[in-house]
Every structure is written in C-alpha cells, then in structure tokens.
Amino acid sequence: MKKVLILGSTGSIGCQALDIIRENSDKFSAVGLSCRSRVDNLIMQIREFRPEAVCVGNAEDAQRVREEFPELNVYYGDEGLIEIAKMDCDIVLNSLMGISGLAPTYQAISMGRDIALANKETLVTGGKIVTDLCREKGVKLLPVDSEHSAIFQCLEGNKEREIKRILLTASGGPFRGRSLESLSDVTVEQALNHPKWSMGSKITIDSATMMNKGLEVIEAKWLFDVPGERIDIHVHPQSIVHSMVEFCDTSVIAQMGLPDMRIPISLALNYPERLDYSGESLDFFTVGKELTFEKPDRKVFKCIDLAYNALEEGGSYPVVMNGANEELVAMFLAGMITFTDIPNTIERVMELHKPSKAETVEEILAIDRESRVMARKLVRR
C-alpha cells in the first residue's frame, strides 16, 4: 500500500488523483490532503478518504475542520503546507498552484519522499536547488506535466543514450494563428476557453499567452538536463503526441495518447509499473488521421522568448519572470489589465531586474515578492 500525500487535492489534478486512488484502493491510500479555498470540497474528501492530516488556507477554515474531525491533524497557510510535507508517506503529489509549491516540495524532498510533480513553478524557480537535493537524498522526481511525462517515457530504456533534442509539443492554446493586434482586447472568458485541456484558471491563461510552454522549457531543462537551445517547441493542435525525444542517431521516439491527465498522474503514482485504466483507446483511424506540427509564432507569443532568455540568463531571472507572470495573470483574471499587458509587463520587469542570489528557498521567495511589487508598480504607471 502506497501512502500518498496530495498537496492541492481539490484542484483539477488533485481530484483526478483521488479518482485513481478510489479505483485502486488496494494499492494507494490518501494519507494527507490540502486545499487553499475549497474547504467544502476538502471536507467531502476527508469523509471519503479518511486522511491522517490536512492543510487548509486559513485559521478559520482550520477551526471548522477541527470541529468536524477532532482526531485529524489540521494545519493551515504556507507554514502548514511545510508542516504537512513532513508527514509519513511514500510519495507527495504536488499539484499546488504557482511558487507556493516550492517550499513544501523542498521540505518533502529533504524528508526523502518521492515527488510526483504537477507544479512546474517548483522547477522554474528552484530548479537547481531542488534537483541537487533530489540527487543528494536519492529522491525520484516523477513528472506529472503531460509533456514531461511523455519525455520521461521516451527516455525509459534510453537513459544512457545521448539526447540530440527534445521536441516539446504545445496545443497552441485558444489564440493560435491570431495576430498580435487582435490579442489586445481579448476577454478573460475567451482566454479561459482552452481547446483541448480542462485545467485551473492560472495554467489556462498561461496556455493562452504560451507562457505555459516557456515554463515547460525551463521545467524540461531541470528534469532532463538538456539546455534550452536543444529544446524545440512544436505546436501540435491535436494534442495526441505529448512530446518526443530525438537521439544522436536522429531516431525520434514519441509518446501518444488522448489528452487525459489521468495517464501521467497514474504513471507517476504507480511508477515504475503502469496502472490498468478503462479509458478510451486512441483510435488512429479517427482522431490520429491528421497530426500536424508547426513552429510557434514568437512575435505574437512573446512569453516564449522571455522564458528562453530567462533560462539563458539563469540565476534569479526565471524567478523574476515567474513571479511577474503569476501576479499579472491574477490581475488579468481580476479584470485589472489587458491580455497583452501580461507579456509586455513581464518584459519590463525583467529588463529592470538586477541579478541577485537565488540559492535558497528564502532567497527565491524574496525575489518572487519583489518581482510582484515591481509588476504592480509598472502596471499602475
């Protein structure tokens, strides 16, 4: 029986992970759960899965949960996430949103727990310290992001072989093919209407700006130790090929499947074995009849180059880019700025940034806070 701690259990990935645990209750138990704001959903999850510990967003919610479940360990807030990350378990599924995932992941790795990572911002902001600590502690970092799970699967049995390049696929998001001018007045609703994947609102906006793909380039660099210039984005609107790896002999291996996050989640939870799944099979005679690939439009989707530049500069730059992006996406969702304000302001924040040390979780979180303040200031002007 594998004991699973799910950070972010009421989000899209967390709920799908609990579906998998429910259907495989002989293999997994959910020993810890967390939510930020959907405490009603969490309470239903506690009733069903009977975890030993939970973490909620604030003190009032913690009090409410304690009253209903007196025997449960209840934590709250950012500190609570670090505390619950210390609990006894075999694997931590991190499906938190944004940089809030960094400190609890780092804590869980230091405890020697394997990590199923759905929170790419952990590696974007703390890639070096996180992967160093994984090596030191002998911890497995298992990607849940569909593209990175694909690359991971392409590398199985090929670990010692030289990678020529990673072909990172992208759906292109809801605005594929649009001109830059036509993006200035898109609405929040249009940006949230993703053609292929149903996800949380932050990552859906990141997909619309294609910052999501930029973040994934940085994530791939840290997971697979391949430099940015050998990671090529391929826009593939059908979302059937989830990514590919080309080896030194030019042989290309791809991983394919219907767009369904349960596949990467279940592989990460049950690694190295695969789990049975009664989902629909990929039928190449219908859905795979036309698989197309095109270059991303880097002039329209400026976030791609911002991310490659941040990776190239290294150090604090990816932290600054990520912090500004998180802040600006929240402002766009709140109706405070336009869609094109997102890339334009990130660019300005990065130009104004003076490189600083980003070698501890505390330093990284401090840089993150500064970049958010800077982004807000630039928007007000």
Q: DSSP secondary structure string, 195-254?
A: SS----HHHHHHHHHTHHHHHHHHHHHHHH---GGGEEEEE-TT--EEEEEEETTS-EEE
Q: How far is the CB of 58 from Mn ion (least distance, A)?
A: 30
Q: How far is the CB of 154 from Mn ion (least distance, A)?
A: 15
- In whole angstroms, give the CA distance from residue 285 to residue 269: 31
Q: Binders of Mn ion among 84-103, rule CB under 5 A?
A: none
Count helices and strands (H / E) in the chain. 15, 11
Segment near Mn ion (CB under 5 A), from 12-20, 30-38, 142-150, 316-324?
142-150
* Distance, first Cα to last Cα, the chain: 56
Segment near Mn ion (CB under 5 A), from 5-13, 139-147, 167-175, 224-232?
139-147
Q: How far is the CB of 374 from Mn ion (least distance, A)?
A: 27
* Cα distances (Å, whole numbers) of residue 209 to 176, 186, 274, 296, 346: 10, 11, 33, 11, 12
Q: Does 368 bind Mn ion (CB under 5 A)?
A: no
Beta-ladder partners of 253: 245
Q: Does 370 bind Mn ion (CB under 5 A)?
A: no
Q: How far is the CB of 263 from Mn ion (least distance, A)?
A: 12
Segment near Mn ion (CB under 5 A), from 27-35, 99-107, 138-146, 341-349?
138-146
Beta-ladder partners of 29: 3
Q: Are 151 and 220 in contact (CB under 8 A)?
A: yes
Determine the size of the site formed for Mn ion (CB under 5 A): 3
* Cβ-closest position to Mn ion: 145
Q: How far is the CB of 216 from Mn ion (least distance, A)?
A: 6
Segment near Mn ion (CB under 5 A), from 56-64, 145-153, 269-277, 286-294?
145-153
- In whole angstroms, give the CA distance from residue 260 to residue 241: 12
Q: How far is the CB of 322 from Mn ion (least distance, A)?
A: 15
Task: Return the number of the residue (233 or 350) whose C-beta is nearest Mn ion.
Answer: 233
The DSSP symbol for 138 reads: T
Q: Does 145 bind Mn ion (CB under 5 A)?
A: yes
Binding residues vs Mn ion (CB under 5 A): 145-147
